[in-house]
Amino acid sequence: MSEPHLRIVNVVGCRPNFVKLAPLIVEMKKHREIRPLVVHTGQHYDGAMSDVFFRDLDLPEPDLYLNVGSGSQITQLSSIAQSFEEALRDLRPDLVVVVGDVTSTLACSLASIKLGFPVAHVEAGLRSFDREMPEEINRVLTDAISDLLFATEKGAVENLEREGRPRERIFLVGNVMIDTLRMSAGNVGRSAIVGRLGLAPKSYAVLTLHRPSNVDDRAALTHLAGALEELQRHIRVVFPIHPRTWSRMEQFDIWQHVSSMPNMQIVDPLGYVDFIRLVRDSLFVLTDSGGVQEESTALGIPCLTLRENTERPVTVTEGTNRLVGKNRERILSEGLRIIGGERPPGRIPEYWDGFAAQRIVQALLANKKEIKNFYRSVRERELCQKAASRA
């Protein structure tokens, strides 16, 4: 009789999840011992922020779509956890894999642990040490309850050890986002987005903006708009705008100001392939996104991060990233340095080599017996509870 499959539910909810999950699914499908399933929570319910990434990354259609939709963070957390709890009772996985630090990550981890299903967290141990960031809370709590922890860098391993997580549960595997970059290189090379937008390589900067601390605060967003107005006088700024960012600009009466800037080129959200091509051919990037900090480092593109801190310090210490916060003078001076030909030195961090997913799957297979035992303990507890209720 053949050995039973390792039934793994992989959770996605929004753009960063799709990018991180794609190489894992590809790698899992290479092994007959694994049966991967995909559950989409629907945290990103806009097609421009969700469906296009399934197409670009050749992800399989989700096995289950929870369709939770919009709402406050607490509303989404509750809705996702409740819906995922019901899904778990039907799917009965051996393991739940969550990635990143979004609301879906924490909600599905909580639901899994409460029902007794083991959780593996991909991208564990990253810390900004800023508890005002919703993502930081998600990261800390998810790591505290996860059974297997897959880290992208040595600093993340140190954070987990300092927080008391058992060393045997921590695996330094590298960065799955870099796996996706390598997997997608051919498609990125064929993208016509730069020409379609009427751009020449290295003649523009790319801007992304979506963090609540930047866009949900009228004063912060107004201040950033002023800094960008100064910068766009020196270089074209291409701005694929996040739906929530556009909504806040409208709400705060900033939209007309930003959209009328002569050298600000605002475009709809882009799919993964077009966005990476846009970044690859840019002179530099301005962002508040953790993932873009990593992607720009891997591509060797200078990055100015519009935050006071980062949970990805290796992009600063080893990569091409610089923290500039919301300081108008610093944003302008750092941008002008790059325009003038100064590029920050940088190298690709250790293990960011395109084989992170392979290392993760190898670790899962090496721990297959333990993972199966987790699942058996769930079944045994349920049977005992049923027997007790009949007594």
* Contacts for 307-310: CB closer than 8 Å, 24+ residues apart: 307/211, 307/213, 307/214, 308/130, 309/128, 309/129, 309/130, 310/128
Angle at 347 between CA 194 and CA 323, to 5 degrees: 75
Question: Can you tell me whether residue 286 is helix, strand or coil?
Answer: strand
Question: In the prediction, which pLDDT does 344 show?
Answer: 86
Instruction: Report DSSP state, residue 284.
Output: E
**Single-letter code of the amino acid located at 279:** V
Residue 362 CB burial class (10 angstroms; 0-12, 13-18, ≥19): middle
pLDDT tens column, 337-366: 999 999 888 999 999 999 999 999 999 999
Residues sharing a CB contact under 8 Å with residue 1, sequence separation 6 or more, in sequence order? none
265/284 Cα distance (integer angstroms): 15
193-339: same fold as 6-174+352-390?
Answer: yes
Choosing from 40, 44, 121, 210, which is the catalytic residue? 210
pLDDT tens column, 48-84: 555 677 778 878 889 999 988 777 889 999 999 999 9
Residue 384 CB burial class (10 angstroms; 0-12, 13-18, ≥19): exposed
Q: Note the pTM of the prediction, 2 decimals.
A: 0.92
pLDDT tens column, 284-315: 999 999 999 999 999 999 999 999 999 999 99
pLDDT tens column, 185-228: 999 999 999 999 999 999 999 999 999 999 999 999 999 999 99
For the chain, which residues make up each domain, given as ranges? Answer: 6-174+352-390, 193-339
CATH 3.40.50.2000, applies to 193-339: yes
For 188-197, letters b (16+ CB in 10 Å) and e give: beebebbeee
Q: Which of 17, 28, 3, 7 lies closest to 95, judged by CA? A: 7
Asked if 184 and 276 touch (Cβ cutoff 8 Å), the reply is yes
257 a catalytic residue: no
Instruction: Report DSSP state, residue 13.
Output: -
Where does 6-174+352-390 sit in CATH, by number?
A: 3.40.50.2000
The tokens for 199 are 């751009």
pLDDT tens column, 260-271: 999 999 999 999
Q: Please, which pLDDT band fits residue 1 given cuts at 50, 70 and 90?
A: very low
195/113 Cα distance (integer angstroms): 48
Centre a 10 Å sphere on the Cβ of residue 388 and count the other Cβ atoms it contains.
Answer: 8
Asked if 297 and 320 touch (Cβ cutoff 8 Å), the reply is yes
pLDDT tens column, 152-189: 999 999 999 999 999 999 999 999 999 999 999 999 99
Q: Which of 385, 296, 302, 386 lies closest to 345, judged by CA? A: 302
Least confident of 18-22, 71-75, 82-86, 241-245: 71-75
327 φ, ψ (degrees, to nearest 5) = -75, 115
Q: Which of 301, 110, 125, 130 lies closest to 211, judged by CA? A: 130
Q: In what order do the strands lie in the sheet with 204-207?
A: 264-267, 236-240, 204-207, 284-287, 303-305, 321-323
Structure-derived torsion over alpha carbons of residues 10, 14, 16, 17, reported in degrees to the nearest 10: 0
